[in-house]
Chain A
Amino acid sequence: MSQDNKKVTVETTGHVWDDDLQELNNPLPRWWIWGFYITFAFALVYWLFYPAWPIGNTYTKGIPGLNTITYVATKVDGTQETKTTHWNMRAKLMAEMNALRTEQKPYFDKVASKSFDEVSKDAELMQFVNSAGKTLFSDNCAACHQAGGQGKIKFAPNLTDDYWQYGGSYENIQTTITAGRHGVMPAFKTILSDQELSQVGSYVLSLSGEPNDTAAAKLGDAIFHGNKAGCYVCHGADAKGNIAMGSANLTDKIWLWPDVLGAKTPQDKLNEIKTLVYGGMDKGVMPVWGTRLSAEQIKLLTVYVHDSLGGGK
């Protein structure tokens, strides 16, 4: 190797290690060097336009007036104020949200000022409702009610049918979204014996025309309407439920908490109902959206859920 080194005629850095080990000085390409210098110039310009250098307990905010953002701020009391500030991400977001709101304002104003029926009949406005509603639904509602609003057995009700536990009118749906819901059924494990649970279960199955033990159902009828269990207090004497408290209609073919339709044998169907009555249910929680979404968003979502998914008839 030392033989080869002696032949080298290229400039070296001048360092010599171990007598003859040298370092060649091959300069970087000119274009690369210039690119490097240009980044210096870029940085200088950047410092004039954007927040950059920390100084003590503050920092430079660019040359005043050179690169500003103007936005409209909404104060806590609802009044608005136009402000101009140095460029920064948070002010930029304010301006972008302003622009978005201005774009959507004519539509949201219409949704807010018109009655539900008027919104529903305005075909052009409904295009906006459907498009914005779908986005809001996907972001906020689909996790429980599923992407198409078909719901989930033992979890969240189907929104595409005509049955509404808490009422399917526009006003009912708006209340449900704004304030949330919490459905509770008490446990009857200490009140009803296993035999009585079977009887009341048979009666409940008979209400919607499911196969059942007629003799047991007759006894279950008495338990349902009797004061020991008092099922009728919430579900009504006609067992059609009560939208004011969200108690289920037991006479239709729609089941949420006991999976009666999914159960294969009559015995399984009975067990589904018995399990629910025995242990009760404290899971029907719909979160409060009034603190997360604006009033206009909720109204728009109400129309979307009612008209596009299927409100109460």
Chain B
Amino acid sequence: MKHDKIERNVGILIILTMLAISAGGLVEIVPLFFIKETVEKVDGVRPYSPLELRGRDIYIREGCYLCHSQMIRPFRDEALRYGHYSLAAESKYDHPFQWGSKRTGPDLARVGGKYSNDWQTQHLTAPRSLVSQSVMPNYPWLSKTDLDYADIQDRMRALRVTGVPYSTSQAEYDKNVKEFGEETAKNLHIPDAEKNLIAQAQAGNFDTNPDKLTEMDALVSYLQMLGTLVDFRKYDDDYFAKFR
């Protein structure tokens, strides 16, 4: 087609421009939906419980992702410091994912269980009281602010639209029991979200203050489960290499 004709016809120009600029993205992204090894086959990965989900929303609200990635790359130094590299499967229920390519603070993909609840609470409130050289801001309001979970069911329903298997009916619940086990399936049932959220906060006492249900409870419960779902001891240590 002649250049002249394209430049004089705005419709054709728009269509051809869009094709040209999307080529790179299409070539890199679309095949991943078809390559069967993209998402590794692994046990243990489950959607977030209502409390963890609320914590994740606070994580995003406070902009934690601006300084912390959640993606351990398959490099020696990262393996030594953070542990096993992140799997695609581990963030399959993340919308949006928190991978990130810039770290001011350390990667958090496997921070779950590394520190006590008390450490997380103290550190979020006043990071320099524990790590003197830290440049992380203080988040003192988290343990003072009551957790607002009035819309937790809406939040779960929104994720359901993107394909996260939160259940609304008995049939869906039964399917989750089969896939994730009864204990997890209960936590994924939308009609029981408030009840489950409160129960988990009380059992876990994440903000080390049993009298209040705060935003700190939710955020710490989320941090404490990061990277803990897959038990890597159950797999040969090169099992995940075969997916690449």
Contact = CB atoms under 8 A, between A and B. Distances in A.
A51 B37 CA distance: 13
B119 A90 contact: no
A263 interface: no
A66 interface: no
B236 A54 contact: no
Given A54-B34, A144-B130, A89 B236 contact: no
Contact of A93 (B32, B74, B117): B74
Given A90-B74, A93-B75, A285 B236 contact: no
A282 B208 contact: yes
A152 B130 contact: yes
Nearest to A92: B74
A91 B238 contact: yes
A100 B75 CA distance: 12
A83 B242 CA distance: 11
A287 B110 CA distance: 14
Interface centre among B35, B36, B244 (most CB of A within 10 A): B244
A94 B130 contact: no
Nearest to B76: A96
Given A51-B244, A93-B79, A94-B237, A58 B35 contact: yes
Given A59-B35, A283-B208, A93 B236 contact: no
A57 B35 contact: yes
Interface of B: 3-4, 7, 31-32, 34-37, 73-76, 79-81, 83, 85, 113-119, 122-123, 129-131, 205, 208, 233-238, 240-244
Given A93-B76, A94-B237, A96-B76, A143 B244 contact: no
Nearest to A93: B74
A123 interface: no
Contacts of B129: 152
B113 A90 contact: no
A301 to B, nearest CB: 14
A57 B241 contact: no
Contacts of A40: none
B241 A140 contact: no
A286 interface: yes
B241 A85 contact: yes
A88 B244 CA distance: 6
Contact of B81 (A88, A89, A100, A139): A139
Given A92-B74, A93-B76, A292 B81 contact: no
Given A15-B4, A152-B129, 12 more contacts: A54-B31, A89-B74, A90-B238, A90-B240, A93-B75, A140-B114, A143-B115, A152-B130, A283-B116, A287-B114, A288-B113, A292-B114
B145 to A, nearest CB: 21
A85 B240 CA distance: 13
A94 B241 contact: yes
A155 interface: yes
A6 interface: no
A73 interface: yes
Contacts of A152: 129-130
A62 to B, nearest CB: 13
B138 to A, nearest CB: 17
Contacts of A89: 73-74, 244
B118 A71 contact: no
10 contacts: A15-B4, A56-B34, A57-B35, A83-B238, A89-B244, A90-B74, A90-B243, A144-B130, A282-B205, A292-B83
B103 to A, nearest CB: 15
Contacts, number: 99
B220 to A, nearest CB: 12
B118 A76 contact: no
Given A283-B118, A285-B116, A100 B35 contact: no
A122 to B, nearest CB: 24
Given A15-B3, A89-B74, A292 B122 contact: no
A7 interface: no
- The list of the 5 closest CB pairs from A to B, nearest first, reads A54-B31, A285-B116, A73-B238, A90-B241, A88-B244
B238 A94 contact: yes
A75 interface: yes
Contact of A155 (B3, B31, B122): B122
A181 B243 CA distance: 38
Nearest to B34: A57
Contacts of A291: 113
A11 to B, nearest CB: 15
Interface in A220-248: none
Nearest to B237: A74
A97 interface: yes
Interface string A261-286: 00000000000000000000011011
A57 B32 CA distance: 9
Contact of B85 (A73, A75, A90): A90
B113 A91 contact: no
Nearest to B30: A54
